[in-house]
Structure 1
Amino acid sequence: MGLLFVTIFNSILGLSVLFPVIGPLGRDLGLSDTQIGALSTSYALMQLLLSPWWGKRSETAGRKKILLVGVCGFALAFGLLGAAAEVGRMQVVPPLALFALMLGARVIGGAFASAMLPTAQAYAADLTTRENRTSGMAVIGAAFGLAIIFGPVIGGTVAHFFGLTAPIWLSTAFGALNAILVWARLPEPPRREPSERPPARLGDVARRAWPLLLVAAVTTGATVLMEQTVAFLVEDRLHLTREDTPLWMGGALFVYGVVAVAVQGGLARRMRVAPTTLVIAGLPITIAGLLTLMLAREYGWIVLGMGLQGFGQGLALPGVTSAMSLAVHDDEQGQVAGLNNSAQGLGRLFGPLVGTALYELHQELPYGTGAALIGIALLFVAASPQMRAIARRHREEATPEVG
């Protein structure tokens, strides 16, 4: 689990250094806000389409092999993105051609990166029992959150001193380092004996987990509405220059990451409750964070909103992932992890375009819309009989361990 933690940390670090940079960089290269959103949408589209395939593939080809393919493709794609950005800054291609080059790099990146997270989640399921599955998934979430702490700060600082394209090359280096780590140090996890049941079709797995897949898609979409526009919010409401925005944005995301890691790595791992309880507790706090951002006019309120976001997601996300893992059999973990990443990809697919379009209409709309979507998801979770069945199964399986 320690090596898996480092692998996920390096991967998300390479991605998160771009969070405070992609908006100002896109504007500096002459892209519209909607085109900037399309860069994230294309990445998410590949996750939506390919994550289930990669997750199922990891069941037969092996977790390590698929993870290695993902991280190598990740490094290659960021190298292509950096090259396209440098070409754009030299102004040797027209804006539409530049957009096409950057879009192609993001498509390649999403295609390969979609192998990483579902394979890592299935890897964690291989290493944990059903009783401590929430704790194992919280480790994945903590690696994710810890990378979000350092990534934006590093990205914002590097961009401030070395230029807006420098963080892209840093991401490329992180990807290459991660490929070496996976190849040299990460072992293939021990696998459980295959079931005597015939292999489940992907559609059968999806039907058993569909309430959680819906929650994952809606919650991720609402969160991406915030993530895609909050850099614009910081720049516009604080009247910052494009060079200063990444630094201020990095500070807000630092708070977001610290809170998320503290909750996922500490509180969520130690709470002896059903994973569905974590979801129901975390979603209202996430709503409060979005509403705070919607009303914020000063930097302190923006930071508070981001902190509430980190707290709510620190509870809800490991709850969703763990509950989804418990909804299927042990030999279906790769498939359900792929479906989970695909559902999140659906949220990321529409979130950037919808978020930027809403922001151009009115600054408050992305955050109010996101709060409303998560409110609907909360009502659905509270009323779902499938969620109550998962909670009951968790109590039954945890009873021997308590006794």
Structure 2
Amino acid sequence: MRACTEPLTENVVPKANWPLALSAGLLGIGQNGLLVMLPQLVTLTGLSLSVWAGLLMFGSMLFLPASPWWGRQSERHGCKAVMLASLSGYLVSFCVMALVVWTMSNGVLNAVWGMAGLVLSRTLYGLTVSGLVPAAQTWAIQRAGLDKRMAALATISSGLSCGRLLGPPLAALMLSVNPVAPLWLMAMAPFIALLLVLREVADPPLPPVAHQATRLQASMLPYLLLALLLAALVSLMQLGLSPHLYPLLEGNAVQVSHHVALLLSLAALATLAAQFLVVRPQHFSPRVLLCMAAVLMAAGLGLMCIADVALFYVGIVITSLGAAMATPGYQLLLNDRLTTGKGAGVIATSHTLGYGVSALLVPVVTRFYGEQLLMNTAWGMALLFLAISLWVRSADRTP
């Protein structure tokens, strides 16, 4: 048994991380591809949109208990074993979903048995795929060594961003072939990734760093809170695009949909640009990167709250640049205190909690203040993120 604990050594020989980034990108393809398929899934299965939304949320919420567990397994059994298990679970879960949807559309399965199969599919997904990104991040950092940790994280994040960018057009293209074809594509893609990861040599164990803890401590909670706030404010920003644009475009639904699609594409491109041009070259320390990201997000969301349509585009670019820079900032600061595998696991859990907080805030804000205040709520979270980042910068000292 080998540990995938720490890459923090000067003598690590760099290895290519693109197979790991490609594997992580499957998570983005699956998430955004299913969103594109939702109307078709409702038609094929006869289940309501709310039921499908609940199924997707159920699979995502299973990341909460599973991500930290997989983080510990990556340190005990190795990152390669965890990635193989995650990719296998990804493959099986989408095979089950594709088979259930196909049989329901042909009248072979009734709603009760179909629902049971879909719950099984999402359970497999949540309990296995939750280990994919933490293991990829840990393995990439292990391979890169101390001096290239930030670049390694940027590589995995860029793979995830590319997956989210490619997921919708791939799903739309496959829908033109067959209504169930996107699900079979999502089942075949992890098989290719499995073959790539199987070819990778499991890296030998590296010595842990003395100052790193093996358990989560109270002093580490600010970094987890930053991860939660980032996920929540990005989710609220995305959900608030349409309501905020409606009055600016005089309620023209077609134009609103067109602008939202362009804004989300622009945000994805800005995220990739930040990962490749700022994070990967490692121009800044994690603390400086975190504070810069907080300032950019607060400025960008503030601009989106008060500006017209033209400056709205500028605002989302600034916000997306900041969001892309924030994640490696707080993750590396946490990794200075907590072993890498456990750190990646609890950060993934915090991100999932952030999406949950966003889902809870939407009906509250909408009911009491109106849909247009969703963007202002995201801005408020960005200001809180900025305050905590400045506090971390002033109080934080290298152990």
TM-score (norm 2): 0.79
Task: State the match for 1:181 in structure 2.
Answer: 196
- Answering whether residue 234 of structure 2 is matched by residue 223 of structure 1, we say yes
In the alignment, which residue of structure 1 is the partner of 2:277?
266
Report SS of the residue matched to 2:153.
Answer: helix
Residues 32 and 212 of structure 1, relative CA distance in 2, 3 Å threshold: farther
Q: Which moved more, 1:231-240 or 1:164-173?
A: 231-240
Change (3 A) 1:213 1:16: same
Work out whether residues 44 and 346 of structure 1, in 8 Å CA contact, stay in contact via their aligned partners in 2: no
Shift in alpha-carbon separation, 1:201–1:20, aligned structure 2, 3 A: same
The equivalent of 1:325 in structure 2 is 335
Greater alpha carbon shift after TM alignment, 138-147 vs 334-343: 138-147
Partner Cα distance (1:317, 1:378) in 2: 14
**2:33 maps to which of 3, 13, 17:** 17
Whether 1:377 aligns to 2:392 is: no
CA contact (8 A) 1:20 1:249 kept: no
**Residue 349 of structure 2 aligns to which amino acid in structure 1?**
S
- SS of the equivalent of 1:389 reads coil
Structure 2: gaps (5+ residues): 1-16
**Partner secondary structure for residue 20 of structure 2:** helix
**Aligned pair partner of 2:347 in 340, 344, 351:** 340
* 1:357 to partner: Cα distance: 6.8
The 1:152/1:194 distance shift into structure 2, 3 A limit, reads same
Pairing 1:213–2:220 present: no
Instruction: Within 5 Å, give how 1:295-314 maps onto structure 2.
Output: 306-314=316-324
Cα displacement (A) at 1:308? 3.7
Cα–Cα, structure 1 residues 33 and 15, in superposed 2: closer, same or farther, change >3 Å? closer
2:323 matched to 1:277? no
Provide Cα deviations, 1:274-311, integer angstroms capped at 9, x if missing partner.
2122222223433455566667996x777655534432
Q: Which residue of 1 aligns with 2:5?
A: none
Deviation at 1:73, TM superposition (A): 0.3
Deviation at 1:351, TM superposition (A): 3.1
What pairs up with 1:1-400 in 2 under 5 angstroms?
1-22=17-38, 24-25=39-40, 35-86=51-102, 89=105, 101-159=117-175, 161-162=176-177, 165-183=180-198, 185-194=199-208, 201-202=214-215, 205-227=216-238, 239-240=253-254, 251-290=262-301, 306-328=316-338, 332-352=339-359, 354-355=361-362, 362-384=370-392, 388-390=396-398
Cα 1:196–1:283 change in 2 (3 A) is: closer
Preserved contact between residue 288 and residue 308 of structure 1 (Cα < 8 Å): yes
Distance 2:326 2:371 in 1: 26
Moved more, 340-349 or 56-65: 340-349
Flag the 1:187–1:249 CA change in 2: closer, same or farther, 3 A: farther
Question: C-alpha distance in 1, partners of 2:120/2:46?
Answer: 17
Give the whole-Å Cα distance in 1 for the aligned partners of 2:159 and 2:133: 11
3-state SS of paired residue (1:270): coil
What's the offset of the Cα at 1:343? 1.2
CA displacement at 1:213 relative to structure 2 = 0.9
Partner AA of 1:315 in structure 2 = M
Q: Between Structure 1 and Structure 2, how many residues are aligned? A: 378
What is the rounded CA distance, in whole Å, between the counterparts of 2:99 and 2:75 in structure 1? Answer: 35
Q: Distance in 2 between matches of 1:273 and 1:179?
A: 35
* C-alpha contact (below 8 Å) 1:153/1:251 kept by paired residues: no
**Displacement of 1:119:** 0.9
Instruction: State the secondary structure of the residue aligned to 2:280.
Output: helix
AA of the residue aligned to 1:239: A
User: Per the alignment, do residues 372 and 98 of structure 1 end up closer, same or farther by CA in structure 2, a change over 3 Å counting?
Assistant: farther
Cα distance in 2 for residues equivalent to 1:143 and 1:37: 25
Partners of 1:32 and 1:319 in 2: how far apart?
Answer: 40
After TM superposition, the structure 1 stretch with the greater mean CA deviation from structure 2, 150-159 or 139-148, is: 150-159
Which is worse superposed, 318-327 or 57-66? 318-327
1:15–1:171 CA contact under 8 A, matched in 2: no
Give SS of 1:132's match: helix
The more displaced of 253-262 and 228-237 is: 228-237
- Shift of residue 218, structure 1, vs aligned partner: 1.7
> Which residue type is aligned with residue 264 of structure 2?
L
Question: Percent sequence identity over matched residues?
Answer: 20
Cα shift at 1:52: 0.9
- Give how far 1:194 is off: 4.9
Distance 2:306 2:56 in 1: 26
Give the deviation of 1:84 after TM superposition.
Answer: 4.0
CA distance in 1, matches of 2:100, 2:312: 32
- The letter for the 1-side match of 2:190 is G
Moved more, 263-272 or 64-73: 263-272
For the residues of structure 2 that align with 1:165 and 1:252, how far apart are their CA atoms?
A: 28
The verdict on how the C-alpha distance between 1:20 and 1:351 changes in structure 2, with shifts beyond 3 A counting, is: farther
Moved more, 62-71 or 306-315: 306-315
Bigger drift between 111-120 and 249-258 goes to 249-258
Q: TM-score, normalised by structure 1?
A: 0.78
1:138-196 deviations in Å (ceiling 9; x for gaps) = 1121222222222223234444x34664433322221222122212x222123213568
1:213-259 CA distances to partner (integer Å, 9 max, x unpaired)?
11101211222334467689899965359xx97x9866543322221
